[in-house]
Amino acid sequence: MTAQILDGKALAQKIQQELKARIQTLEPQKGRPPGLAVLMVGDNPASAAYVRNKERACERVGIASFGKHFPTETTQEELEQAIHACNQDECIDGILVQLPLPQHLDAVTLLQQIHPDKDADGLHPTNLGRLVRGEPGLRSCTPAGVMRLLEEYEIDVVGKQAVIIGRSILVGKPLALMLLAANATVTIAHSKTQNLTEVVRNADIVVAATGKPRFINAEAIKPGAVVVDVGINRVEDETGKARLVGDVDFDSVANVAGFLTPVPGGVGPMTVAMLLHNTVLSYSQTLC
């Protein structure tokens, strides 16, 4: 293997230690710890695991968790009321609606009910607008985590060709804007892109966010490129045992790339770390 591993797990632990120290400085002034409310609807096992992971991370750094678990049949109006209550609660600095939601609920409308200054996930239209305009604001967690990972490993993106495979509002679009702001030259590729392998092979930086296991292989990677794998896919081997893999074929790409994120242990921990960062940022800017 030639690629240097971009260790998101280690960096996330470092960030959590920094946040813990920041909270310990601020809490005596404010008289309370920062608070994060995670709203979850239904019994999706993956969502429940994600929520537990976030609550444990909060506990490690000193953030109070205000978890709210709603039954699957909860109505849109009931959830909107819960979000409005969190908006008004001075002990809550960040609000997160755990996705995906049951099909009868409108996730976009719910996310828009969160006050932009408590938008821990950085997905409110106001915060996305601030990103477009280059103004300060809460940033979408996964793209912000990718940028922080590149910064930690002193990977210079100025003038580099970056290709993002995936155009979601969660990752592809906000990450493109962040890379542009850092003076990279950005291409967003997707399922309709012609000659995708050629497009990707020209990139100095490749970000895979397709949701397709092992979709990107060594053939598509320029030697020495930086490869960031955002995908998390559960697959079964011949024995029926499940494991997590990314959107990148790690074993083949590791022999070509200069830098590579693992799955798990790459972007995933960084997403949680930036969620905590956003919560503490909101906390530091409140008057109480």
- Which tokens belong to 139? 């940033």
Contact 25, 276 (CB under 8 A): no
H helices of the chain, in order, are 8-30, 45-61, 76-88, 107-113, 125-133, 141-152, 172-181, 196-201, 250-253, 267-285
Residue 60 in marked binding region: no
Q: Would you please indicate which residues are annotated as catalytic (active-site) residues? A: 54, 98, 121
Q: Please name the helix (run of DSSP H) or strand (run of DSSP E) that holds residue 90, with its range, or none.
A: none
* Separation CA 199–CA 80 (nearest Å): 43
Q: Which of 175, 172, 226, 179 is nearest to 3 (CA)?
A: 226
Place of tokens 């292989």: 217
Residue 232 in marked binding region: yes
Q: Phi-psi region for residue 279, left (φ > 0), alpha (ψ -120 to 50) or beta?
A: alpha
- What is the identity of the amino acid at 159? G
Q: Judging by DSSP bridges, how do beta strands 233-236 and 242-245 pair with one another?
A: antiparallel
Residue 140 in marked binding region: no
Q: Which of 174, 166, 163 is nearest to 131 (CA)?
A: 174
List, as one string, the DSSP characters of 98-161: PSSPPTTS-HHHHHHHS-GGGBTTS-SHHHHHHHHHT---PPPHHHHHHHHHHHHTT---TT-E
Residue 139 in marked binding region: no
Cα 87 from chain centroid (whole Å)? 22
Q: In angstroms, what CA-CA distances link 215 with 1, 49, 140?
A: 19, 25, 24
Query: Binding site: residue ranges?
Result: 166-168, 232
Query: Binding site for NADP(+): residue ranges?
Result: 166-168, 232
